[in-house]
Amino acid sequence: MKQLTYLLGIILVISFGITSCKKTDQNDDDPVKGMDDLIISDNFDWRTTKTVDSITLPTDDFSQIVNIYSISGEELYYTGYATNSDILSTKITIPTSVNEVMLIYGFDQAAEPKLVDVGDNLVYNFNSSKSIVNGKSADDCGCQGGLFSLTMRYTGSSSAQIKVREKKCGVVIYCGTVGPDAEFTITGGSKKNGRFDNTIYFYVDGVKNSTMHTSCSVPLEAGDVYDDFTIVSGVSKNNLPLCGSPPPDPPPPPPPVDPPVTTTVNFDGCLAYEDLWPGKGDYDFNDLIIDYDFAVTKDDDDYIQNITGVFTVYAYGASFHNGFGFLKLPHFLSEAKF
């Protein structure tokens, strides 16, 4: 009985080995042993993502947030802002399988979501398809639901580092060097959808300058002044611009004054004195020998602006106690210095 059990065990092991080594559906005519053996089309794209460019924003208000989603709205590919112009130029990496995306512009959708084809470039112009969203017309204004964007003018007398900080948690939402009468834009706060905290502080070179309540519980309008800062414009919920009139443009700086055009003329010579002149027998003129060098500066109207005279004594030897003097010219040289 033991021998029969042992024999059956050997048969099962052999059967399992034969079964596990059996190859099925295998084409041995052209085996692939490595990557070099693969036949790949010349236009096959190995990338799993692609990088594309973006987007022309509304020219009358390009300071709001841009979100780029999958068409289902479930996957966010990009979020950000344009800087200093209405062209958002950036690089966005998305899967190569994606041929269409959804663009959403502004806080609480200032413009209707747009489905845009994606090829080698993502190009869209919001100015070509403006529409009213959330019942807002072009004439509406006010401060509702908090601020999302502010453009301010700094009226300090000299350039300074400007920092804007939210009261809650001290989040810095703007920092930069700003010149006198220059404008700067604060875009996006730390609250939901980019809204500012209810209170923000303005600092000039590290010193607190002013406080602003941005919850819209206190009316805010363009033209309002907060110490060294003036509101130029702003955007609240539903893309609603602030009412009021923006401050007038600062006066242009005075034109530079050209320095006066002057001409300088130089003349020089040598003076020799004889203290016994005109007595005979002593004509050597060596009692005092002195050089002079004058520079006369005139303006375009030929008026004298300045006279400089330099005298250099080269020899003296008179037996008398003599002296040399230069006569101060009257009237027009009353302020001359000697």
pLDDT of residue 47: 66
Mean pLDDT comparison of 35-44, 129-138, 280-289, highest-scoring range: 280-289
Quick check: 18 pLDDT over 70? no
Q: Which residues pair with 231 in a beta bridge?
A: 152
Question: What are the DSSP calls for 63-111, one per residue?
Answer: -S-EEEEETTS-SEEEEE---SSSB----EEEETT--EEEEEETTTTSS
Amino acid at site 237: K
Q: Going by DSSP bridges, is the β-strand pair 199-204/207-213 parallel, antiparallel, or unpaired?
A: antiparallel
| Residue range 296-319: mean pLDDT, rounded | 83
Q: Which residues pair with 80 in a beta bridge?
A: 66
Rounded to whole angstroms, the Cα distance separating 197 from 215 reads 7
Rounded to whole angstroms, the Cα distance separating 222 from 215 reads 15
pLDDT of residue 116: 83
C-beta neighbour count of 55 within 10 angstroms: 23
Peptide bond into 278 cis (omega under 30): yes
| Residue range 231-249: mean pLDDT, rounded | 84
| Residue range 175-189: mean pLDDT, rounded | 90
pLDDT of residue 15: 52
Does residue 200 contact residue 194 with C-beta atoms inside 8 Å? no
Do 147-239 and 49-128 have the same topology in CATH?
A: yes
| Residue range 41-67: mean pLDDT, rounded | 69
Nearest CA-CA partner of 19 in 27, 29, 11, 8: 11
* Window from 199-213, 229-243, 252-266, 315-329 with minimum mean pLDDT: 315-329
Nearest CA-CA partner of 187 in 302, 61, 280: 61
User: What token pair was written down for 55?
Assistant: 């987007």
| Residue range 87-113: mean pLDDT, rounded | 75
Identify the H or E element spanning 164: strand 160-166
Question: What are the DSSP calls for 269-329, one per residue?
Answer: EEEEE-TTTTSTT-----SEEEEEEEEEEE-TT--EEEEEEEEEEEEE--SS------PPP
Q: Which residues pair with 285 in a beta bridge?
A: none
Quick check: 300 pLDDT over 80? yes
CATH fold group of domain 49-128: Immunoglobulin-like (2.60.40)
C-beta neighbour count of 148 within 10 angstroms: 29
pLDDT of residue 135: 46
Q: How confident is the model at residue 29 (pLDDT cuts 50, 70, 90)?
A: low
Q: Which residue has the higher pLDDT, 125 or 132?
A: 125
Count CA atoms closer than 13 A to 266's CA, side-chain side: 4
Rounded to whole angstroms, the Cα distance separating 22 from 7 reads 23
Quick check: 22 pLDDT over 50? no
Does residue 247 contact residue 153 with C-beta atoms inside 8 Å? yes
Q: Which residue has the higher pLDDT, 326 or 254?
A: 254
Q: How confident is the prediction for the chain on average, in pLDDT?
A: 77
Q: What is the pLDDT of residues 157-170, one digit of tens each?
A: 999 999 999 998 88
Rounded to whole angstroms, the Cα distance separating 205 from 216 reads 28
Rounded to whole angstroms, the Cα distance separating 217 from 220 reads 9
Q: Which residues pair with 264 in a beta bridge?
A: 297
Quick check: 20 pLDDT over 50? no
Q: How confident is the model at residue 281 (pLDDT cuts 50, 70, 90)?
A: low
Rounded to whole angstroms, the Cα distance separating 142 from 81 reads 23
Amino acid at site 94: I
* Window from 173-187, 202-216, 313-327 with minimum mean pLDDT: 313-327
Count CA atoms closer than 13 A to 238's CA, side-chain side: 14
Count CA atoms closer than 13 A to 138's CA, side-chain side: 4
Q: Going by DSSP bridges, is the β-strand pair 199-204/66-70 parallel, antiparallel, or unpaired?
A: unpaired
* Domain segments of the chain as ranges: 49-128, 147-239, 262-333
First to last CA, the chain: 142
Quick check: 39 pLDDT over 70? yes
* Window from 8-12, 65-69, 77-81 with minimum mean pLDDT: 8-12
Q: How confident is the model at residue 6 (pLDDT cuts 50, 70, 90)?
A: low
Quick check: 17 pLDDT over 60? no
User: What token pair was written down for 35?
Assistant: 């990557």
pLDDT of residue 72: 79
pLDDT of residue 133: 45
CATH (one of 3.90.1310, 2.60.40, 3.30.70, 3.40.50) for 147-239: 2.60.40
What's 87's DSSP letter? B
* Window from 81-90, 111-120, 268-277 with minimum mean pLDDT: 81-90
What's 8's DSSP letter? H
Rounded to whole angstroms, the Cα distance separating 90 from 77 reads 12
- Please state the pTM of the whole predicted model: 0.47
pLDDT of residue 21: 45
